[in-house]
Amino acid sequence: MTGCARFTSDNTAVEIPPPGAAEPTLAEMWLKSGYLYPGRDWLTLSWAGRALLGDEAWNVAADGSVADSSVFENRDVSTMPAGFFSGDGVFGPAPRGPWRVVRLKRGGGTPGFVGEDAGGRRWVVKPDAEGFDELGSAAEAIAARVYFGLGYRVPATHVVTIHGTGDAQWDGRRASASALLPGEPAGTWRMDRLRMRREVRALRLAAAWLNDTDRHDRNTLVTIEDGRARFWLIDFNGALGCWNGRPKAPWRGWRYAWDVEWQVLGALTLGLARPGYAADQPVISTAVGRLDSAFEPMTWRGQYPVTAFDRMTPADARWMVTRMLRLSEAQLDEVVAAGAYSRAEDSMYIRRVLGERRARIAAAVGGG
């Protein structure tokens, strides 16, 4: 299959073949997403075609929906019973100790290990950072459930307390446990390659809702099971008020870590033009970190540029808002309950801000 034919197929087909892409280095991701991909679109006059012909997604039915695919599942949350998101329904039973450490975790910004629970199941276990109990583990559990409810593939993720390893650096600590995925790992997937798919473009708004600023290619995975590729989102330690187990810096969600646009604007205006975040945004608590509902949904930015997010159209955004609003108030209560906060005020704060951020997105898009 030629490059153009493969690109068309990847952006329209139900079953997408595995891309076979190794995890990109940070430097590679910076270079491609910040410079090479925008340069490609400029030189190929992609911008002119979009201006003249529009830029709607290619995998959309007449009613605006997308089919179940390697990337996405149309889950009907209205059929899910009470307690589904907070109990065993969404991800099955939580892991049970005692734990056996199989190996230390590789990569990522959060230390941990691959462990085997009492039932022989294997999990990626990431303890909360010292001094910030509940922050990372709650963010992981909550974000995974929200993405699941919206239709994305995510690993089963639970809050656990580690015991039985015989290692004092682990035992007694609270952690997130994410199940090893079924099938054979087949690398990561590139969002740029799937930039004409509605569910990939609109992922931008889902990430904005959760302030999941680490949503990019390095936090994806492809697995092969029964000959079929499945595309996953992984690692939610950058969601809500958390960044690698500690409170987010106030600028996250407002600009990229290396943001050429804001650098140029700042230089041209002698520093007067700047992102709209509050530099003195407070840490709500050690369990919540920095999170509020003061954000701009349509200009939200993660750690790195993502070309698929930049291609999101109003129609893509409306589709995502419709899916967001299908999660009931009771289901959002259950999602937050899965974070297992020890203080009621932390749980209530997260629940309120999630509701406010969703309403802000719906108002900006025109869906609420």
Q: Please tell me the predicted confidence (pLDDT) of residue 25.
A: 78
- CB distance 149 to 130 below 8 Å: no
What are the C-alpha distances in Å from 320 to residues 140, 155, 305, 358, 365? 21, 21, 20, 11, 10
294 shares its domain with 194? yes
Rounded-to-integer distance, Cα 232 and Cα 219, Å: 9
Note whether 234 and 171 are same-domain residues.
no
- Asked if the structure places residue 2 within a domain, the reply is no
Q: Is 344 found in the same domain as 328?
A: yes
pLDDT confidence of residue 44: 67
H helices present in the chain, as ranges: 3-10, 26-31, 37-43, 46-53, 135-150, 198-201, 203-210, 260-268, 307-310, 314-326, 329-337, 344-365
The residues with which 322 forms a beta bridge, in sequence order, are none
Which residue is listed with tokens 């492809």?
A: 222
What predicted TM-score, i.e. pTM, was given to this entire model?
Answer: 0.94
Task: Supply the pLDDT for residue 53.
Answer: 61
Sort residue 44 into left (φ over 0), alpha (ψ -120 to 50) or beta.
alpha
Instruction: Give the pair of three-digit tokens for residue 295.
Output: 């954000």
Tell me, yes or no, whether 73 and 160 share the same domain.
no
Write down the pLDDT at residue 52.
Answer: 61
Same-domain pairing of 309 and 335: yes
pLDDT tens string for the chain (368 positions)?
567 899 999 999 999 998 876 777 777 777 777 777 777 777 765 656 666 666 899 999 999 999 999 999 999 999 999 999 998 889 999 999 999 999 999 877 789 999 999 999 999 999 999 999 999 999 999 999 999 999 999 999 999 999 999 999 999 999 999 999 999 999 999 999 999 999 999 999 999 999 999 999 999 999 999 999 999 999 999 999 999 999 999 999 999 988 878 788 888 887 777 888 999 999 999 999 999 999 999 999 999 999 999 999 999 999 999 999 999 999 999 999 999 999 999 999 999 999 999 999 999 999 65
pLDDT of residue 28: 79
Residue 254, in any domain of the structure: yes
Tally of structural domains, the chain: 2
CA–CA separation, 266 vs 268, rounded Å?
A: 6
Residue 4 is predicted with a pLDDT of 85
Residue type, 185: P
Tell me, yes or no, whether 34 lies in a domain: yes
| Domain membership flag for residue 93 | no
Domain boundary among 110, 144, 179: 179
Q: What pLDDT is stored for residue 73 in this prediction?
A: 98
Asked if residues 114 and 122 have their Cβ atoms less than 8 Å apart, the reply is yes
**Residue 148 and residue 117 in one domain:** yes
Are 164 and 197 members of one domain? Answer: no
Separation of alpha carbons 32 and 188, rounded Å: 15
pLDDT value for 1: 59
What confidence score (pLDDT) does residue 47 get? 57
Give yes or no: residues 198 and 59 share one domain. yes
Residues 6+ apart with CB under 8 A from 349: 284, 285, 288
Peptide bond preceding 98 in cis form (omega within 30 of 0): yes
Beta-sheet pairing, 122-127 with 113-116: antiparallel
Range of 304's domain? Answer: 12-77+184-365
Residue whose C-alpha is closest to residue 247's, from 237, 256, 255: 237
